[in-house]
Homo-oligomer: A and B are copies of this chain.
Amino acid sequence: MRFEWLGCLTVGLLVLAGPPAIGEEAGRGAADGKTTDMNQASSATKVASEKRPRWAIVLHGGAGTIPRDQPQEVIQAHRAALRDAMRRGVSILDQGGTSLDAVEQVIRALEDAPMFNAGRGAVFTHAGTHELDASLMDGRTFACGAVAGVTTIRHPITAARLVMEKTRHVLLAGPGADQFADQMGLEPVPNEFFSTDFRRQQLQQAQQRERDRQQAEPLKNSALPPEDQRYGTVGCVALDRDGNLAAGTSTGGLTNKRAGRIGDSPIIGAGTYANNATCGISGTGIGEEFIRHAVAFQISALIEHGGKSLDQAAELVLKERLPPRAGGIIGIDATGNIVSRYTTDGMYRAWARSDGQQEVRIWE
Q: Give chain A's interface residues, CB within 8 Å of chain B.
A: 1-2, 141-144, 148-149, 164-177, 179-180, 218-223, 257-263, 267-270, 273, 287-288, 291-294, 297-298, 301-302, 305-306
Contact = CB atoms under 8 A, between A and B. Distances in A.
A143 B260 contact: no
A222 to B, nearest CB: 7
A302 B257 CA distance: 35
Contacts of A257: 169
Given A174-B174, A301-B301, A305-B306, 10 more contacts: A149-B173, A149-B174, A167-B258, A168-B222, A170-B288, A170-B292, A267-B269, A269-B270, A302-B305, A306-B306
A57 B141 CA distance: 36
7 contacts: A144-B291, A166-B218, A170-B292, A171-B291, A172-B262, A180-B260, A297-B297
Nearest to A169: B261
Contacts of A306: 305-306
A173 B148 contact: yes
Nearest to A262: B171
B221 A148 contact: no
Contacts of A261: 169, 171-172, 176
A268 B262 CA distance: 12
Shortest Cβ-Cβ A-B pairs, 5 listed:
A176-B260, A176-B259, A269-B294, A305-B306, A301-B301
Given A221-B167, A291-B144, A305-B302, A172 B297 contact: no
A270 B273 CA distance: 13
B294 A142 contact: no
Contacts of A219: 167-168
B174 A142 contact: no
B293 A294 contact: no
Contacts of A148: 173, 262
Given A1-B141, A143-B221, A291-B268, A258 B298 contact: no
Contacts of A262: 148, 171-173
Given A143-B221, A301-B298, A306-B305, A177 B291 contact: no
A259 to B, nearest CB: 3
A91 to B, nearest CB: 28
Nearest to A145: B221
A292 B273 CA distance: 9
B221 A164 contact: yes
A222 B143 contact: yes
A257 B180 CA distance: 13
A2 B174 CA distance: 30
A200 B269 CA distance: 34
Contacts of A2: 141-142
A252 B295 CA distance: 27
